[in-house]
Structure 1
Amino acid sequence: MADLRILTNSSILLKALTKRRTWLTLSVLFYGLLLSSSSNLISSILTWYYSNTSSSSAVGWPALYASILFGAVFGLLSMAAALAIIVPATLVLWITVLVLLTFTGKPRRSLVLDAHKITADIIGFAFKIVLKEGNFVAIACAILSFLALVRRREEIY
């Protein structure tokens, strides 16, 4: 009886996961969680920055530390968002390549070996792109936030 419930629950889960609405809902929940956690982190960084700049006369160092943290947060956020998009796209690309290799008449054993190589190549290439984009976003956000924090500090004082 328990096996029947597990089978029924798993078939309901599989039916739900094949729906486009389910994946859209999971994506929206994932991005909402990312934005919520990053907004809490950003507000704590700003609180730390304002507490350090009000007590000391040093303008540059707290702004530099805060801007590096902002860059790291936004870089990681952009990498997580890119991974959420890259994973399904990579899966579609992998399936397409394997189907094309199958149509060329390759034997099953060599197809499996090629699939392992192709998988490693696709994942490595995708992660290199994600790291490059994330680093670019992190550097751009760090520079912009440093300039904004220093300018805001100069306007206040």
Structure 2
Amino acid sequence: MMTSSNKLFLRAISKRRTWVCLFLVVYATLLSSSWNWLNSIVDWYGENHKTSSSGWPAVYASVLLGAVFGVLSMAAALFIAVPAVVVIWISVVVAMAFAGKSRRSVVVEGGKVTKEIAGFVFKVLFKEGNFVALLCALLSYFIFFNT
């Protein structure tokens, strides 16, 4: 027997607005923590570049900044890619079902298609995230080194 609080919870969780709000809270938390990481890296560089005559603090800080920006870019791309991949997967499975394949073969082929699509998406995300990380690391190194 469902209580009124269970019914209210199920009704709230089934709304699109609830999921949008949850997404925004998670995204805002990610941005806030990444902003804190970026500030702490820049503060660390500010303290250490004055005491060191070498360029190593700039290298360390730029690599860390590149890593943070690379992870953030992969997370943002993943948030965009997941719904698109789901739509593609549904389209492929429905097309196979309309092509006259049996349910068993649709399930087997759907599993293969899912693995293939997910592998391709993660390969592209990893490559683009590494590119953004490298670009941000190089840019921040030249900014740190010239200050």
Q: TM-score, normalising length from structure 2?
A: 0.90
CA distance in 1, matches of 2:38, 2:92: 42
Report the counterpart of residue 43 of structure 1 in structure 2. 39
Over 3 Å counting, the alpha-carbon distance change for 1:8 and 1:110 in structure 2 is: farther
What amino acid is aligned across from residue 133 of structure 2 in structure 1? A
In structure 2, the gaps of 5 or more residues are none
Paired residues for 1:9-24 under 5 Å: 9=6, 12-24=8-20
In structure 1, the gaps of 5 or more residues are 153-157
Over 3 Å counting, the alpha-carbon distance change for 1:82 and 1:150 in structure 2 is: same
Over 3 Å counting, the alpha-carbon distance change for 1:14 and 1:78 in structure 2 is: farther
Report the counterpart of residue 21 of structure 2 in structure 1. 25
CA distance in 1, matches of 2:75, 2:112: 25
Question: What value does the CA root-mean-square deviation take over the aligned residues?
Answer: 1.8
Q: Offset at 1:28?
A: 2.0
Report the counterpart of residue 95 of structure 1 in structure 2. 90
CA distance in 1, matches of 2:103, 2:13: 29
Paired residues for 1:55-94 under 5 Å: 55-58=51-54, 60-94=55-89
Number of aligned residue pairs: 147
Report the counterpart of residue 146 of structure 1 in structure 2. 141
Over 3 Å counting, the alpha-carbon distance change for 1:8 and 1:97 in structure 2 is: farther
Q: TM-score, normalising length from structure 1?
A: 0.85
